[in-house]
Amino acid sequence: MKTALKIVWLLIPIGLLAYHFGPGQGLLARDRAKSEMDRGLTARNDLDWNVAASSFEQAISELPEDSTRLEQWRLSLSQARALIQGGQMIEGQELLQETLLESETTEQNDSDLARSIRSDLAASSYFSAWIMRLEGATPEEWKPESERARQQFRLLAERTEKSGAKEQSLLHKKNLEATVRLEQMDLTELLARPLPKNCPDCQNLSQRKRKQSKSRSKGKGKGEGEKDSREKVNEAQGAGINKREGSGS
């Protein structure tokens, strides 16, 4: 009996090592991922968007191999939202697009999470078009943003209506109508509206979009230096335009 106990006692360290380098690694990775996610949530609550985005990105890298795609997409959505709120609109949009494309290749392409990703992409495109118009971008520059917003809002409206989610479908239809109004709105009318709050730190978005376009087309892009239309606010107000409440969406 004593011999058997000694053998078991000697085997315990071997078993612990096997667990540590086997299933234990997955648990450790998940703990690290949760720690980074909690850090990101705290930073988000404190409106520290750079720390939040970095923490969510680190959480994704710490996820164990057996993590689900839904877990990865949730963190990617949180990271993209933090990037956009922190003024990194382009980076946030690119992450949303990548995540949406991944979901489209699976059976989760119409899940609630996939719809949230698509909705965020549509909203960010809508506000990108808004901001770019205020910055004096040409229609050729800002209309691709509004077109993307229209396509995504329309798809969301159709899918939610088909699934019986009437309230959600109605909301997406309203956003679709708001996007169409944005395209048709006179610039002086747009100037009379309060600035969008979805990307409070977004500046020089048009210039950054031009640089992005140039890097993709190897030098083919619009010229820079257009006058920021927000400089015309005083002139527009002098013409009798009054500020109105609402975001237009």
Q: What is the pLDDT of residues 39-75, one digit of tens each?
A: 999 999 999 999 999 999 999 999 998 788 889 999 9
Residue scoring higher pLDDT (96 or 205): 96
d(Cα 131, Cα 212) in Å, to the nearest integer? 16
d(Cα 176, Cα 179) in Å, to the nearest integer? 5
The H or E element that residue 59 is part of is helix 49-62
d(Cα 141, Cα 133) in Å, to the nearest integer? 9
| Predicted TM-score (pTM) of this structure | 0.75
**What does the domain layout of the chain look like in residue ranges?**
32-61+68-89, 110-192+202-209
Cα angle at 41 between 63 and 153, to 5 degrees?
85
Residue carrying the six token digits 């997406």? 172
Asked if 86 and 53 count as a contact pair (C-beta separation under 8 A), the reply is yes
Asked if 62 and 32 count as a contact pair (C-beta separation under 8 A), the reply is yes
Torsion of CA 131, 138, 185, 156, to 10 degrees: -70
User: For the chain, how many residues are written?
Assistant: 249
Q: What is the pLDDT of residues 136-172, one digit of tens each?
A: 999 999 999 999 999 999 999 999 999 999 999 999 9
Res 230 pLDDT > 60? no
Reading phi first (left if > 0) and then psi (alpha if -120 to 50, else beta), residue 162 is in alpha
Cα angle at 244 between 242 and 246, to 5 degrees?
165
pLDDT of 128: 94
Residue carrying the six token digits 């315990």? 12
d(Cα 101, Cα 226) in Å, to the nearest integer? 34
Res 249 pLDDT > 80? no
Banded model confidence at residue 107, pLDDT cuts 50, 70, 90: confident
Banded model confidence at residue 3, pLDDT cuts 50, 70, 90: low
Residue 176: Cβ within 10 Å count: 22
